[in-house]
Structure 1
Amino acid sequence: MKKAIELAPDSWMPGGKPDPLIHHQHGHVGKSVSRIDGPLKVKGAARFAAEFAPSNMTYAAVMFSTIAKGRIASIDTSAAVTAPGVILVMTHHNAPAMKPMPLFMTNARAAGGDNLPIMQDDRIHWNGQPIALLLAETQEQADHAKSLIRVSYEVESAITSFAAAKAQGTEPGMFMGEKMKVEIGDADAALAAAPHKVSATYRTPRHNHNAIEPHAATVAWDGDELRVHDASQAVAHTAWSLAQVFDIDEKLVHVTSPYVGGGFGSKCLWQHQVLGAAASRIAGRPVRIALSREGVYRVVGGRSLTEQHVAIGAQEDGRFTSIIHTGVTVMSRQNALPEPFIVATRSGYAADTFKLDVEVAYMDMLANTFMRAPGEAVGTFALECAIDELAVELAMDPIELRIRNEPDKDPTQGTPFSSRHIVEAYRAGAERFGWNRRTLPGARREGEWLIGIGCATGTYPYYRMPGGAVRITLAQDGRARVAVAAHEMGMGMSTVNTQIAAERLGLALDEVSVEYGDSTLPGVILAGGSQQTAAIGAAVIAAQRLLVTELLKLAGNDSPLAGLSADEVGGLDGGLAKLDEQDRHESYVSILSRAGRNEVTVEAQAPMPMELQHWSMHSYSAIFSEVRVNVVTGETRVSRVLGSFDCGRILNHKTAASQFRGGIIMGLGLALMEETQFDERNGRIMNASLSDYHVPAHLDVPPIEIIWTDIPDPHTPMGAHGVGEIGITGTGAAVANAVFNATGKRIRDLPLTLDKLM
């Protein structure tokens, strides 16, 4: 008989023992398991938000403003109202009373992308703001009727250029309730005194979200009850926020999101869901509102531009005396997310002095939002390129320079690292990639192609947000159901949590099912910050301990487990067993049958994430890139990438590798092609389509090799750190550094398009 799993519900807390899942028993955790939802998606049986079809459904089309600031002087809807199939034309003249969306990051339950009044007045706040919504019997009829509306505006002066925004003055940036400013010692003086130094400005552009599934919702009212099938990564937050908008009890709002075709930070609450619900209430019929690709650009925020200054001073041996990372990003006054580009710098390297600061300039534009690794994705580009430049100044190997400045504790917070093995990741990655074959800049050429290699460090914080809760139901046949208001956006959430629950309960994978994507289920969990698995896993551990306690009560004195406490018992072979005496075992079927119970249900909340108060906690990556640059055209091709990751215990090798690769591919887009073309004359996004906004296609993506340390962190649930966002961090810099190694030309302005290399 296998040994029962050792159980300690709070073992990841400071001073506790390593979590028992680190020492796996059944082998579910730490194994390659294919995604459970994969077959449904391949067969087309997984229904997404725009695939629900209630009876008597109507179709929505949204009209967007074409000015950045001002008011609607007139809006003529007469032709649209009488167009074939039209059921409703909604403008600010007839929209129902609605409160602004509670703004994300200003309340633990809020999900709103902005806090503006939605179709409540004639004011225009950005170019692309929804100004009319049409409902018709078909999508084609709604789209046609929209084209018949005529609008005139009174235009007001708007701030639509970065230069004008900066000229107005900047304000301190706030992220997660804190100012993004750190000063330790006199960094300017240390830089001036340093024998070796670099100082440069790096720029990154706007980026737009382009998930394979555009944003959509199917909305219906039943009396005062609102039902929303949404493409969401925050079902519980969305339900609460919609209740605030329509001034109804949260219990009357039911949000489901069983499948999401990519989120990356964008699929929270935007104006289209609110407008769909408002139109449905007026029309008394269900509404499907599916944004076009252009509509996503007009209504859904993305990553904001940055202008970053990085200066590093070093001693003769390469040790840093000063790190300065400051700069400006832009945002609207209707949101709460400046791009926090210094986050990675706060914990990346040791230095004698630090000066870190993010300032914000304001523009009249669509509210920006989270986009995969907000801050880190673009901040590591600047920091890691500057370190590469310093390595050239010192004539030192870039990896050796990084290792020489490896901190023994968090350099700005002073807290110990819970787990940090980036040096091991670098050593393993360099050997596997063939780093020792690196040449001097511009020295390697094959025909028209210059070839270079580069590296960069990536880092992303470990988060475990409060609100994790699950319900476990154990049936008389020994099968278990886990219910949690979580989200499956293609990253394998349902699969890895099936593994975690099966491991804790001592069941086979096919004996556990996970119900998710529904606001009526337990938990207030956001699929963001690479923390959803940690939040759910901690709750599963708490619920399993509670289940053991209930089962021991049901087992009674006739059980082999009689007299044992919950701390002495673990899940094993479809039942419970004494930890150090495996023969004292009783199956779940036996316990429930003897107790005359069809099932037993427990619900538990995860303990507060106290580990974050005691440790500096992060995922790490060492990214290696090889590029080819054409000397005639300036075209850049990435020929291979290796990512060497240190993310604690890898819970599912297959889904984690997929997440790492996906992040790297998104990082290739950031490095080489992604850029939102923003017309600074009128604040309009010009390339609002996948024809003009370029993302990596199959031929742009080279072979990507993934390795990892797989060293568990004893201070986290399951020993794991997040893997969803670490892949993109460092990738932009690794490509840029490889381009320098190939050409000898340093590009500090993303994307690395051929015109900058000609």
Structure 2
Amino acid sequence: MDAHVNGSPATVPDSPATSAAAHIRDGLGLTGTKIACGTGVCGACTVLVDGSPTVSCLLPADRLTGRDVTTVEGLGGDHPVQRAFAAHDGLQCGFCTPGFVVEASVFVDAWRAEHGDTRPDRERIADALAGHLCRCGAYEGIFAAVAAACAGEFDGEPDRDPPRVDALDKVTGRARYSGDHAPPGTWEGVIVRSPLPHARVRAVHAADPATPLVDLLPPDRTVRYVGQPIAAVAAPTAEAARSAAAAVAVAYEPRPAVAGVDAARAPDAPLVHPTRTDRSGAPSYGEAPTPPAPWTGNVRGPGTLSWRGPTAVRRLRAAAEAGDPLLVAQEYTTATQVHTPLEPHVCVAHWSGDGLRLFASTQSVSRLADRVAARWGLDRDRVHVVTEHVGGGFGAKNGISVDIEAAVELSRAAGAPVRVAFTRAEELTDAGHRPGTRTRVALLADRDGGLAAMSVDSHGDGGVSVGSTTATLAFLMYGRAPRRVRDFDVVTNRPPGMPMRGPGGPPMAWALEQAVDEMARRLDEDPLALRLRWDGNPKRRALYERAARTPLWRERPRGPRTGRFRRGVGVAASNWLYLFGPRAQVELVVRGGELVARAATQDLGTGIRTVLSDTVAERLGLPAGGVRVEIGDSSSVHGTGSYGSRTTPSMGPAAADAADRLRAALRELDPGVPAQGPIDEHVLKEALAAAEGLSVVGGRGRDRWGALTPEMSGDLAIGRGMSGAVHVMEVEVDTLLGRVRPTRCWAGIAAGRIYSERTARNQCEGAVVQGVGYALFEERRHDPRTGAILTDDLEDYRIPGMGDVPETEVHFHQEGFEHVPGGGVGLGEVSVVGVAAALGNAVFDATGWRPRELPLRPDRLIEGIR
């Protein structure tokens, strides 16, 4: 049976068992169509069927018979929408971009046919694209792109290159992600997971002895949560692999379990990690190594930091006993937030005579290759990791994840390449999350309104994992008043957490920044003015002063509000550590008269490809686009991992150093190359022609003031100075339905020099989107008896869409890091930390009710304002 796909005849399978999306991708090789949710919620798989946008993951492939199908590749790359998305940076990781582009092309064409070259408003665009999700949160660029395409601004070739060097690959579907690299003959792997929350596994058997099966259990043969991997099987087709997985027999010896933190705290509660070995091997959800702490049953901690701690405790107790009105003591909770990048965890592994080749969705190419070589006893040069593009990570894709382990072992057992990809249910269950928290804050002001004492106690709820830093991060805010902070973990038989964008930061700000706002109310002081008095950080002080001058703050409503719809404006401050990779390198190679920048780093949508290209071009005075970038290949020089807000401050200086070394090498070959400044295009062309094969390697230099720490494991160090942020959020509260609608946000970011302005702005806009999701929607729910995850699809676990987010203005304060090579530090994490807290303060401003629990659900708001 045939269909017409992108204008050409194409065979269609006659079985309904294969989805149209799977056939388009694997049968026809049109990998621009992405499978992200599998339930028709996210829109990544959208194609046109007889001109109508259709989610192809829900459509049986045999229903394509006799139909005209257009995928993103069929738009040709010159549709106004594609040009506009590239020009307005309406994308980040790019995994969702083809679906957005296909849908938007139909909307733009229909709008212009009816309305001419006019710009639709924001609400109309959001309505048209309501069936699409971008986990990176690139919605501001999408709004701008669609409006500009409707106005006819991109009917011809743009007069400038896109701000992102890989934009055209992503808007056309040419960008290839790890699952797109499965060669012909690739087998499919499926993971068998535990249905029990706690058990010892006595035996595992495949129904067919010929089925390749690998064991994924830990050495103690114990599972500790529903969904924990037990084994993996492989077969030549996905359908056969799923059948083989369903037929695997597992013999369990059930053990008592605790699914909730209250049950875990009980004196007679079953222990999740009963032995010292178990406790020392508990997985960590922190970014840095987890320091030792005592255990009491299922509670780990406290991990304590103190500055004149006894003084702080004594003052706070005395204030509580005296009923001091300038003592603010409040408790706040946050729910579990799941990373859920739209590209799921996926790996294609292939053993051969030359070694092991992996196409893996990873945030750390060099480190993964090192770990794989050590794990499987291979020489490093026999391990080849390729990660051409990554569809988001947010901290969830570091190390040897179970998809990688299963694919490697199954490939060896099957003697063929094997692809293992998580389903969305697996991604939402066992691919990492930001743990829930319960945090108690106590602040005491003196009679002059100064901060006299602070204490913060926070309990993390990370399932079987540990690593709370919520209270620790509060220690670093608001000067040097006496303070004591303590972090605890309560372990349960639920899946482990992992570091997620600013780990510990958003729950810290949710508690601390609302307590600071409450103190401002009691002191009858402007919340920005109070922060300016308390905060000695000069970078944040500059942001407070700038925020105070914004119309959003100056024109905010004052006094009590009445009526159904009430507007409020809130503010929150935040900080983040300055991290970098000391061993970062960039190689510049002259190849075919072209300049190529290479490194084994990765771009998750944050724009490091653009940073490398722009840095080298700027250093040498080259035109934009004069440098080709090749990253994501472990055979390149060492590239730092793309996590911890360290990629740009690591790789940018290395690229600048490589450019300087290249200039010096070219001058030795051609004295006409100037010692500094722009290189004449003709001179450069001749110099590169004479330097064919030339290679130089640049590295990241030392900070002028040195680092706070020596290099830690994983090419990581902490530098001197902290980035800062101030968020001002406006909301409209519907007091009848209990809904909160963020309308406008001002985001001030102090991270030093900005390497690539538009891609940096896009990151900060996306951080606001993720912060709004954390505040209003995202809440992983579990069965209270077994701990099984109930919100295991994108209908039940809601992330923000285009109609949920505010118009966002970003301001960069670019001073304060002159001691750092390149003058700038990371901004991806600090830009998300205070968003939810600013929204919470805005809700209080609108209603007079202080929200304490996240997410801020309608039922909680209605109950609170009664």
TM-score tier (shorter) = 0.7 to 0.9
Q: 2:416 corresponds to which letter in structure 1?
A: R
* 1:320-370 CA distance string (max 9 Å, x none): 01121222214466x6x6131134423321242111221223333323111
Q: Which of 109, 133, 146 pairs up with 2:245?
A: 146
The alpha carbon displacement at 1:663 in A equals 0.5
- CA RMSD after TM alignment: 2.7
Aligned residue for 1:389, secondary structure, equals helix
Which residue does 1:375 correspond to in 2?
504
Which residue does 1:298 correspond to in 2?
429
* 1:468-523 CA distance string (max 9 Å, x none): 0111124584x421111111111211012110111122222222111101111111
Aligned residue for 1:324, secondary structure, equals strand
Which residue does 2:373 correspond to in 1?
243
CA distance in 1, matches of 2:289, 2:558: 43
The alpha carbon displacement at 1:373 in A equals 0.8
Which residue does 1:390 correspond to in 2?
519
Q: Contact 1:322/1:351 (CA < 8 Å) preserved in 2?
A: no
CA distance in 2, matches of 1:208, 1:150: 30
The alpha carbon displacement at 1:32 in A equals 9.8
1:453 aligns to 2:562 (yes or no): no
Q: 2:314 corresponds to which letter in structure 1?
A: A
* 1:60-113 CA distance string (max 9 Å, x none): 2222111121123555632xx39xxxx724153xxxxxxxxxxxxxxxxxxxxx
1:679 aligns to 2:802 (yes or no): no
Alpha-carbon distance change, 32 to 187 in structure 1, aligned in 2, over 3 angstroms: farther
Which residue does 2:547 correspond to in 1?
429
Q: Which of 328, 332, 341 pairs up with 2:459?
A: 328
* 1:660-701 CA distance string (max 9 Å, x none): 010010000111111111334212211111111111111111
CA distance in 2, matches of 1:674, 1:159: 23
Q: Which of 625, 628, 635 pairs up with 2:729?
A: 625
CA distance in 1, matches of 2:584, 2:445: 44
Which residue does 2:757 correspond to in 1?
653
Q: Which of 814, 819, 825 pairs up with 1:715?
A: 819
Which residue does 2:448 correspond to in 1?
317
Q: 2:700 corresponds to which letter in structure 1?
A: A
Alpha-carbon distance change, 591 to 437 in structure 1, aligned in 2, over 3 angstroms: closer
The alpha carbon displacement at 1:425 in A equals 1.8
Which residue does 1:27 correspond to in 2?
none
Aligned residue for 1:35, secondary structure, equals coil
CA distance in 2, matches of 1:499, 1:487: 16
CA distance in 1, matches of 2:680, 2:457: 56
Which residue does 1:187 correspond to in 2?
312
The alpha carbon displacement at 1:629 in A equals 2.0
Q: Which of 460, 465, 470 pairs up with 2:581?
A: 465
Kindly report which structure 2 residues correspond to 1:36-435, keeping only aligned pairs within 5 A, or say none.
Answer: 36-73=165-202, 75=204, 77-78=206-207, 81=208, 88-92=211-215, 118=217, 122-167=221-266, 175-176=288-289, 178=291, 181-185=304-308, 186-192=311-317, 196-223=326-353, 225-268=355-398, 269-331=400-462, 338-407=467-536, 420-435=538-553
* 1:144-194 CA distance string (max 9 Å, x none): 333334545221122332124344699999844657532111211233456
CA distance in 2, matches of 1:639, 1:560: 56
Alpha-carbon distance change, 38 to 552 in structure 1, aligned in 2, over 3 angstroms: closer
Q: Contact 1:592/1:599 (CA < 8 Å) preserved in 2?
A: no
Which residue does 2:42 correspond to in 1?
none
Q: 1:444 corresponds to which letter in structure 2?
A: R
Q: Contact 1:160/1:363 (CA < 8 Å) preserved in 2?
A: yes
Q: 1:573 corresponds to which letter in structure 2?
A: I
The alpha carbon displacement at 1:433 in A equals 3.9
CA distance in 1, matches of 2:736, 2:290: 50
Which residue does 2:5 correspond to in 1?
none
Alpha-carbon distance change, 284 to 475 in structure 1, aligned in 2, over 3 angstroms: closer
The alpha carbon displacement at 1:461 in A equals 1.7
Q: 1:501 corresponds to which letter in structure 2?
A: V
The alpha carbon displacement at 1:53 in A equals 2.6
The alpha carbon displacement at 1:263 in A equals 0.8
CA distance in 1, matches of 2:193, 2:306: 44
Moved more, 731-740 or 676-685: 676-685
Q: Contact 1:471/1:543 (CA < 8 Å) preserved in 2?
A: yes
Alpha-carbon distance change, 76 to 523 in structure 1, aligned in 2, over 3 angstroms: closer
The alpha carbon displacement at 1:278 in A equals 0.3
CA distance in 1, matches of 2:817, 2:375: 42
* 1:597-619 CA distance string (max 9 Å, x none): 42421123323556433974222
Aligned residue for 2:676, secondary structure, equals strand
Query: What are the ranges of 5 or more consecutive residues in structure 1 without an aligned counterpart?
Result: 1-30, 93-116, 409-419, 562-567, 576-585
Which residue does 1:532 correspond to in 2?
647
TM-score w.r.t. length of structure 2: 0.72
CA distance in 1, matches of 2:358, 2:843: 47
1:669 aligns to 2:773 (yes or no): yes
Q: Which of 843, 846, 866 pairs up with 1:742?
A: 846
CA distance in 2, matches of 1:278, 1:599: 38
Q: 1:319 corresponds to which letter in structure 2?
A: G
Aligned residue for 2:625, secondary structure, equals helix
Alpha-carbon distance change, 465 to 667 in structure 1, aligned in 2, over 3 angstroms: same
Aligned residue for 2:567, secondary structure, equals strand
* 1:105-162 CA distance string (max 9 Å, x none): xxxxxxxxxxxx6476743232211223222222122223333345452211223321
Q: Contact 1:50/1:288 (CA < 8 Å) preserved in 2?
A: yes
1:444 aligns to 2:561 (yes or no): yes
CA distance in 2, matches of 1:464, 1:574: 34
Alpha-carbon distance change, 685 to 608 in structure 1, aligned in 2, over 3 angstroms: farther
CA distance in 2, matches of 1:492, 1:621: 20
CA distance in 1, matches of 2:206, 2:590: 57
The alpha carbon displacement at 1:388 in A equals 0.8
Q: Contact 2:771/2:833 (CA < 8 Å) preserved in 1?
A: yes
CA distance in 1, matches of 2:686, 2:503: 51
CA distance in 2, matches of 1:368, 1:719: 33
The alpha carbon displacement at 1:540 in A equals 1.8
Q: 1:464 corresponds to which letter in structure 2?
A: F
The alpha carbon displacement at 1:426 in A equals 2.3
* 1:696-727 CA distance string (max 9 Å, x none): 11111122222223336211222212121222
Kindly report which structure 2 residues correspond to 1:483-494, keeping only aligned pairs within 5 A, or say none.
Answer: 483-494=598-609
Which residue does 2:71 correspond to in 1?
none
Aligned residue for 1:369, secondary structure, equals coil
CA distance in 2, matches of 1:224, 1:475: 26
Q: Contact 1:554/1:592 (CA < 8 Å) preserved in 2?
A: no
Aligned residue for 2:211, secondary structure, equals strand
Q: Contact 1:476/1:588 (CA < 8 Å) preserved in 2?
A: no
Alpha-carbon distance change, 560 to 236 in structure 1, aligned in 2, over 3 angstroms: closer
CA distance in 1, matches of 2:380, 2:259: 38
Aligned residue for 2:470, secondary structure, equals coil
Aligned residue for 2:489, secondary structure, equals strand
Higher fraction of helix: 2
Equivalent residues, number: 661
CA distance in 2, matches of 1:343, 1:571: 46
Which residue does 1:500 correspond to in 2?
615
CA distance in 1, matches of 2:698, 2:762: 31
CA distance in 1, matches of 2:258, 2:582: 38
CA distance in 2, matches of 1:574, 1:265: 42
Alpha-carbon distance change, 718 to 628 in structure 1, aligned in 2, over 3 angstroms: same
Which residue does 1:413 correspond to in 2?
none
CA distance in 2, matches of 1:38, 1:143: 36
CA distance in 1, matches of 2:291, 2:255: 34
CA distance in 2, matches of 1:149, 1:290: 19
Q: Which of 610, 621, 625 pairs up with 1:510?
A: 625
